[in-house]
Amino acid sequence: MFKTIKRLGICLVLITAPLAAAGAGEELSQLWLNGKRGYINAKGEVVIEPEFDSIWGFTSNGLSVAKINNKFGYINTKGKWVIEPQFNIVSLFADNGLAEVTQNHKWGYINEKGKWVIQPQFDSAEDFAANGLAVVEQNHKWGYINEKGKWVIKPQFSYAKDFAANGLAAVEQNDKWGYINEKGEWVIRPRFDSSGQFADNGLAAIKQKDKYGFINTKGEWVIRPQFDKIGGFDDNGLAMVEQNNKWGIINTKGEWAIEPQFDDVKWHLDNELIGATQGDKWGYINRKGEWVIKPQFSYVSDFAANGLAATEQKDKWGYVNTKGEWVIKLQFDYAWSFDANDIAPVKLNDKLRYINAKGETVVYVDTTACLEEVLKNAKGEIVYPKNYVCPE
């Protein structure tokens, strides 16, 4: 999942819920105002001015991707440019302090000061894996480079994926997938229609003849291909799978932990409660497949860290706890999940509001007589911009 989010560029979509981000010793939430993005704290105070076309949450190095005038760069927790906007597509920094970015339609890698460590020369590139290798494409072939940009495994594959923690990478050759080691040697010869990355439990998802199953690091079938769709295994050794248009959950032996019976499920198995449907209504099940909150909602979100989930019922949104009790009653036209800052954006009467876990409005966006958006507190007082005067 993270790979999809990590790459930011031409195809970037608006983030549907503001991410909380650690910055300057406090959690920050994204603010949307006048079509621009910035950050507020838990009190609703503007910490970083809303002047960016798009932004992404701060990472552990204290940098956030930001976009302005169709170019991407990186800002610090004060909203200052650390790396000036100059790139068409960017990524978050990997653990080794490098990020892949494009310039003049070629990919290279920069450090946290914006200096080129590996000059732009590749047609496509991914971030570095823990073993210090990155998969890149050049002249329609994929291979692997080290952190100096030197070829470790020369480009020879039709497609290739990152190395997993076990030192194996899925690669495609002659329309079949197999696995190589860090020397580029075949460990599992290419014979599969599609291959996923190995999980920590030593299993990899494989597609064969339109069905999915799982193999071990020897290429042996542990779970024969029999599923129509699959999700990856979580830390508890469970994976969501679809069979005959019904979803269930299996363990690492392929045994049913929850028999397939649900029409749809939420993918995040790391939550104790899992959103699921039977018919056209959503509810929540536990890991035994038992209904904890009976299906009654038009749609649901995952539970946030504060134990609340946004749910829709009768065309209105509110928040329930893990017992299914309404903590914030149905009232909103739309509601997003709470972030780590315990702030959630909601739409009420066409106004974007930021509420706390009690359902209280912290700040909200309003439009002045001059057709400009301003930020107001719960009392209706303009708090941003400060000393606002409607322009003549």
Residue range 247-269, pLDDT digits in tens? 999 999 999 999 999 999 987 76
Q: Is the pLDDT of residue 19 over 90?
A: no
For residue 52, give Cα distances in angstroms to 17, 34, 35, 79, 110. Answer: 16, 10, 9, 10, 22
**What mean pLDDT comes out for the span 317-328?**
98
For residue 26, the model assigns a pLDDT of: 72
pLDDT classification of 94: cutoffs 50, 70, 90: very high
pLDDT classification of 11: cutoffs 50, 70, 90: very low
For residue 165, the model assigns a pLDDT of: 95
Q: Is the pLDDT of residue 20 over 60?
A: no
For residue 391, the model assigns a pLDDT of: 80
Residues 29, 6: contact at Cβ < 8 Å?
no
Of the candidate ranges 188-192, 270-274, 335-339, the one whose mean pLDDT is the lowest:
270-274
**What mean pLDDT comes out for the span 89-93?**
95
Question: For 269-300, what is each residue's pLDDT tens digit?
Answer: 667 899 999 899 999 999 889 999 999 999 99
For residue 370, give Cα distances in angstroms to 91, 366, 389, 392. Answer: 38, 11, 10, 9
Q: Is the pLDDT of residue 4 over 50?
A: no
**What mean pLDDT comes out for the span 21-31?**
72
The widest CA-to-CA distance across the chain, in whole angstroms, is 74
Q: Is the pLDDT of residue 127 over 90?
A: yes
Question: For 215-236, what is each residue's pLDDT tens digit?
Answer: 999 999 999 999 999 988 888 8
For residue 25, the model assigns a pLDDT of: 55
For residue 9, the model assigns a pLDDT of: 52
For residue 375, the model assigns a pLDDT of: 97
For residue 231, the model assigns a pLDDT of: 87
In angstroms, rounded to a whole number, what is the distance separating the alpha carbons of residues 23 and 39?
10
**What mean pLDDT comes out for the span 87-92?**
96
**What mean pLDDT comes out for the span 113-128?**
97
DSSP 3: H
Q: Is the pLDDT of residue 337 over 90?
A: yes
pLDDT classification of 57: cutoffs 50, 70, 90: confident
Is the pTM higher than 0.85? Answer: yes
> Which residue did the predictor score with more confidence, 129 or 287?
129
Q: Which of 137-146, 234-243, 265-274 has the highest mean pLDDT?
A: 137-146
Report the run of H or E that residue 318 belongs to, with start and end: strand 316-320
Residues 114, 122: contact at Cβ < 8 Å?
no
Q: Is the pLDDT of residue 24 over 60?
A: no
For residue 21, the model assigns a pLDDT of: 56
For residue 7, the model assigns a pLDDT of: 52
Count the Cβ atoms, other than its own, within 10 Å of residue 380: 8
Q: How far is CA 62 from the centre of its chain?
A: 18
pLDDT classification of 390: cutoffs 50, 70, 90: confident
Q: Is the pLDDT of residue 330 over 70?
A: yes
For residue 77, give Cα distances in angstroms to 24, 28, 57. Answer: 6, 9, 10
**What mean pLDDT comes out for the span 32-43?**
96
Question: If you write DSSP's letter for every residue of 324-348 in order, what string do you get?
Answer: S-EEEEEEESEEPPP-TTS-EEEEE
For residue 364, the model assigns a pLDDT of: 97
pLDDT classification of 392: cutoffs 50, 70, 90: low
